[in-house]
Structure formats: structure tokens, C-alpha cells
Amino acid sequence: MWELISKLFDTSDFPARWHCGHWTSLHGWIHIISDFAIWGAYAAIPIILYYFISKKRDVPFSFIFILFGGFILSCGTGHLVEAIIFWHPWYRFSALIKFATAVISWATIFALIPVIPKALELKSPLELEKIVKERTSELERINENLAIEVVQRKEAEEEQVQLAALVNSSYDAIIRKDLNSVIQSWNYGAEKIFGYTAKEIIGKSITVLIPPDLLNEEVDIMRKVKSGGPIETFESKRLRKDGSTFDASITISPINDTNGNIIGASKIARDITKQKQMKKDLSEAMEKVKQSNQELEMFAYVASHDLQEPLRMVASFTKLLEEKYKDKLDEKANKYIAFSVNGAKRMQELINSLLDYSRIQRADTEPEELDCNEIVNEVILNMSNIKETGVKINYLELPKVYSNKIQLSQVFQNLISNAIKYRSSRPLVIDISAKKEKDKWLFAIKDNGIGFDQEHAERIFELFERLHSTKSYEGTGMGLAICKKIIEKQGGGIWAESEADKGSTFYFTLPA
């Protein structure tokens, strides 16, 4: 062994190949030139390979290339030595080279074997292109989705911006606080209402805004918020920066994160001091009006009541005068006395009617179920002069209604007595009927009396309005006004239809 290595280039034991056998020049030079050519190629190839690897730095299995380069180079060197042996018989060197070549070659094989399956997996350009295409289209799809997501995000952002603008432009205080009651956001409205700027107040506890005697409200509120319950809007007092308190209407809602956990609460507070004041003023004004109304009615009642006394004196004594001294006085005196008596009598009727009118509002007996047939019957019975007038009154199957007996009787009485009073020369017939219309009863009292022009139909219901002088027909002008007040008090309406010389129909409605 040692001999081999120490005498690597020793040529003493061997002849040069030219001298070993009968070589023709041609034969010899074919070997030599081919070996040189092979050596050249086998030297160039590794250089090319090296160049390839160095340029393409990410070549897989690069060590295979090195091995390849190695055995090719080694093999090439072997061929070179074979050519050289024609002159210098370096058979030992040749052996070494050949041995090295064999080793590297087999090493390459052994290195290749495990690599082959991996190499098989390497994609061909076609396959790679296909893969690239797939990847590209997938990317495009992903891109599209991203684009959509971007649009959605943008929209969400815009909405956020708008919401933020909404919150900020609100005149209500909109405040966000965390579960420790620390203020986290503060809008323009809050600045205006409470007086603190956002910078001053964010980070402070919300209790800064609560008057000291109401601090337990916050405890209650946070408890409710944490339990996730809804908190109804409530009224309370809150504290401004300048120390003044004001009435506030407060709404608190829990704020959840995306997982549904409660992370804080939003508080919307509105300054309702003005509102409260207005409400107070309104109810005060209404009280005053109510009181004033009551006073007026009391006045009307008292006036009519107290007026009756002296009136009784006037009426009684003028009549007594008439009775006792009619024969003793001249015509003029009798006439004067007659005027006085008449005047006093009309005044009494007027005051009675006024008293009735003023009593309508005060009368608040519980409404009861009334049979209108009975009411009309009673009213007719109470009218003493009916038989004399020869009037025929028809009423059939009038309904039952909920009303006040005295007042309803008064309505029928007034309408019937009007019909009788304003009768014509023909025999008077009065028809009383009732019709159900949706949720009310429509009553009609129809007569064939003297009637009136439809243009007066509204006027006659006004207080003291009369279409005829007292000379032609007596009366105070209050009967229909009283009917109107009674009917309207019970939630109905009253009106009339008429034609001069033909007759009139008076209608009124009552809730069924």
C-alpha cells in the first residue's frame, strides 16, 4: 500500500504505453486525443455545473451536483492520465484516480437513491405552470373577497364616523363609562350640559356628576348594569361643573363586547329643567283655570239663587197689586202694572233657566242605565198642558242608554216643549225615534210645526238666541243652549234640520 503511494509517479516499473505492444500512430493518437477530449469535456462540465449552481443559488440537492461534478472531474482526470500514460506510465496514479472515481461514483449512486423520490416530486414546468395558474386564480378569489371585505370595512367605518358624528352633534349628554364608573367618552352635548370638557372629565369617576346625597344611585345603577338588566329611563338631579344642580332625565344601557360580555355602560342624560318647569307652569295654569271655572260656576249659581229672593218680592207684589187694585186704578196704571208683572215673570224664568244651565256642569251623579221610553213617558206626563194642545207624540222602542236621569229628561222636555210651542195651525205630530250608528245612538225629534230657515240652525243653540220676539212666543232662549250643554257634556252632539213652514227635526247623539 505504502509503495503505491510513495511511488505514485514512479515510472521505473512500467513501459510507456507507446512501447507496450504494437501501436499504430492512428490507433494510439485516437486513444490519446479521445482521452484528452474526454478530460476536457469532463473538466468543462463540472465548471458549467459550478457556474450553474453559483448562479442559481436555490438549486435543490446541490450536493448531488457537487458529487456529479466530483465524479465527472475525477473520471475526466482518469482519462487524462490514460493519455499521459502513453508517454509517462503513471499506472499507480492512474489506479488512485480510478479508485477515487469509483468511490465518488458509488457515493453518488448512494446519494442519489434517497433523492430520487424527492426529485420525482419536483414539478415540471408544465405542472408548475398549472400550479401557478391555480394559485393565481385562488389569489384572485382571495383578492376579490378582500376587496369586498375592504368595502364592508369602509362602510362600517363610515357608519362609525356617522355614528360618532351623531353622538357628538346630539344636544343630549352621551357618556360612556366602564364597569368601575370611570368616564371613557364624553360628547359635545355632555360638555354643554355639564360644563366639563372631554379632556377634563375623561378618566374621572361618573360620581363627580352626581349630587352627594344621591350617590347611592350610581351603586344601584352599576349593579343593574352588571346583571345585564334593562334600566328604565328615570328622572333625577345631576351636578354641573359650576356646582349647580339640574333636573335630568337619564337612560342607561349596558355596553357589550363582541363576545357578549358587559364591559361598561352608556348614559344619556337630558336636561329637563325647562321641561319640568313648563309642566309645572302648565299644571299650575290648569289649576287656575279649573279654579276660575269653579268660581264662575259658583258665581252663576249664587247669582241666580240670590237674585230669586228680591225677584220674588217684585213678582209677588206686582201681582198682588194687580189683584187688589185692578178695579181701583185707571187703565194706564193697570197697563203699567201688567208690564211689571210680565217683566218680573220673564225674569224669574230667565233666572231659573240660568240656574239650570249653571247646574249642569256641577251635577255629577253617576250615570245609570235609563230606558228612554220611560223617560219620555214621564216627561210627557209632567207637561200639564199637553192634552190641551191636542198633540200626538209617537215614540217607539227607544233604546236604553247610560246617562244622568234629570239631565236627559231635561233634554227631552226642552225639545218636546219647543215642538209644542212652535207648532203651526195643523195638528201637531211629534215623532221621536232612535237609530244605532256604530258606537252611538242617534235620536231624532221630528215635528210638523212652523220650522225655521236652515241658515239659523246653528244660532239657535246659542245662549239667549231666539228667532222670535217674546211677543209672539214666550221663552228665555236658553232651552236649546241647555240641551246642547247637557248633550256635549255626555260626549254627544246636537243639531237641527228644518224648513220654514214645514217643520223641524232635532237630532242628538249619545254614546251607546
Partner 1 sequence: MKEKIIEILLVEDNDGDVELVLEAFKRSKIKNNITNVGNGIEAISYLRKEGKYKDLNRPDLVILDLNLPIKDGRWVLTQIKSNEDLNDIPVIIMTSSNSQKDILNSYKLNANCYITKPLDLEEFWKIMSSIEAFWLSTVKLPSYSQQ
State which residue, 319 or 405, has the beta carbon closest to partner 1: 319
Burial-class residue 120 by CB neighbours within 10 Å (0-12, 13-18, 19+): exposed
Q: Which long-range contacts (CB under 8 A, 24 or more apart) does 138-143 make?
A: none
Q: Which is nearer to partner 1, 146 or 313 (CB)?
A: 313
Residue 311 or 329: the one with the smaller Cβ distance to partner 1 is 311
3 state DSSP class of 493: coil
- Identify which of residues 309 and 439 has a Cβ nearer to partner 1 in the complex: 309
- Given a contact cutoff of 8 angstroms between Cβ atoms, the answer to whether 173 and 250 are in contact is no
Contacts of partner 1 in 269-308 (CB under 8 A): 308
Closest CB to partner 1 among residues 266, 334:
334
Note whether 317 binds partner 1 by CB under 8 A: yes
The residue within the footprint of partner 1, chosen from 123, 133, 154, 312 (CB under 8 A), is 312
In angstroms and rounded to an integer, the radius of gyration of the C-alpha atoms of the chain is 62
CB of 318 to partner 1, least distance (A): 9
| Among the listed residues 167, 315, 379, 483, the single contact to partner 1 using CB under 8 A | 315
Q: Which residues contact 326 (CB under 8 A, 6 or more apart)?
A: 334, 337
d(CA 160, CA 35): 83
CA distance linking residue 7 with residue 96, whole number of Å: 12
> Which is closer to partner 1, CB of 348 or CB of 417?
348
Among 6, 277, 316, 382, binds partner 1 (CB under 8 A): 316
- The residue (of 312 and 502) whose beta carbon lies closer to partner 1 is 312
Interaction with partner 1 in 320-339: which residues (CB under 8 A)?
Answer: 320
The residue within the footprint of partner 1, chosen from 348, 417, 424, 505 (CB under 8 A), is 348
- We find the least distance from the C-beta atom of residue 319 to partner 1, in angstroms, to be 4
- The distance of closest approach from Cβ of residue 313 to partner 1 in the complex, given in angstroms and rounded to an integer, is 4
Q: Can residue 309 be called a binding residue for partner 1 (CB under 8 A)? A: yes
- Which range touches partner 1 (CB under 8 A), out of 111-119, 156-164, 288-296, 317-325? 317-325
- And the C-alpha cell for 44? 468543462
Phi and psi, residue 491, nearest 5°: 90, 20
Alpha helices in 390-511 (DSSP H): 405-421, 479-489
Q: In whole angstroms, how close is the CB of 336 to partner 1 at the nearest point? A: 18
Residue 207 interacting with partner 1 (CB under 8 A): no
CA 506 – CA 499 distance, rounded (Å) = 12
Q: How far is the CB of 172 from partner 1 (least distance, A)?
A: 57
CB of 340 to partner 1, least distance (A): 13
Burial code of 92-117, b = ≥16 C-beta within 10 A, e = fewer? bbbebbbebbeebbeebeebeeeeee
Burial of 211 (C-beta count, 10 Å sphere; 0-12/13-18/19+): middle
Whole-angstrom Cα distance, residue 115 to residue 117? 6
User: For partner 1, which is the closer residue by CB, 304 or 409?
Assistant: 304
Shortest Cβ 193–partner 1 spacing (Å): 58
Which uninterrupted H or E stretch holds 162? helix 125-169
Report in angstroms how near the CB of residue 351 gets to partner 1 at its nearest: 9
Q: Which range of residues in 270-278, 310-318, 435-443, 487-495 is near partner 1 by CB under 8 A?
A: 310-318
Block residue for cell numbers 221621536: 432
Residues found near partner 1 in the complex (CB under 8 A): 308-309, 311-313, 315-317, 319-320, 348, 352
